[in-house]
C-alpha cells in the first residue's frame, strides 16, 4: 500500500511541476513583449513569475525528488538501466528548472538576454523530457 501512495503522490507532483515548467517560459515571452523594464506591466509579470516559482515550482520539484527517490528505493530501481536513463533526464530537467529560475531573476532586474522565439522553443523542453521519462518508466526498454 505504501508503494501505491508514493506512486500516486509522485505522479501528482510531477503534473504540478510540469505545468509550472510549461507556464514559466510563456510568462517570460509575455513579460518581454508586454512590459518595458520598470513599467507597471513589468512589475506584474515579475510578481507572477516569482509566485509561480515559489508557490508551485519549488514545492513540486522537492516533493517529486523525495517521492521519486523513495519509490526507487522501495522498488530497487537503482539497479535497472531504464531508471539510470530516467534519472539522467530528470537531472537535466531539474537543471532546466534552475536555469528558468535564474532567467526570472534576470528579467526582474530588467535584463532581457533572450528573444521571444528562443523562449518559445525552450518551452518544448519539458514536453520532450516528459515523453522520454514516461516511455522509460512505463515501457522500461532496458
Known binding residues for heme are 10, 86
Question: Which residues are annotated as part of the binding site?
Answer: 10, 86
**What does the alpha-carbon distance between residue 138 and residue 53 come to, in Å, rounded to a whole number?**
29
DSSP one-letter string for 105-133: HHHHTT---S-HHHHHHHTTHHHHHHHHH
66 grid coordinates: 523525495
**What does the alpha-carbon distance between residue 4 and residue 52 come to, in Å, rounded to a whole number?**
28
DSSP 39: S
- 25 within 8 A of 75, measured Cβ to Cβ: no
Question: Reduced to 3 states, what is the DSSP secondary structure of residue 1?
Answer: coil
Amino acid at each position: 500500500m505504501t508503494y501505491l501512495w508514493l506512486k500516486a503522490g509522485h505522479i501528482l507532483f510531477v503534473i504540478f511541476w510540469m505545468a509550472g515548467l510549461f507556464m514559466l517560459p510563456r510568462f517570460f515571452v509575455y513579460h518581454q513583449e508586454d512590459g518595458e523594464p520598470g513599467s507597471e506591466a513589468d512589475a506584474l509579470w515579475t510578481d507572477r513569475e516569482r509566485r509561480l516559482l515559489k508557490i508551485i515550482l519549488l514545492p513540486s520539484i522537492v516533493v517529486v525528488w523525495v517521492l521519486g527517490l523513495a519509490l526507487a528505493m522501495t522498488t530497487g530501481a537503482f539497479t535497472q538501466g531504464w531508471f539510470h536513463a530516467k534519472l539522467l533526464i530528470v537531472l537535466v530537467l531539474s537543471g532546466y528548472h534552475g536555469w528558468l529560475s535564474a532567467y526570472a531573476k534576470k528579467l526582474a532586474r530588467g535584463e532581457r538576454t533572450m528573444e521571444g522565439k528562443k523562449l518559445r522553443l525552450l518551452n518544448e523542453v519539458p514536453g520532450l523530457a516528459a515523453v522520454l521519462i514516461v516511455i522509460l518508466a512505463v515501457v522500461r526498454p532496458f
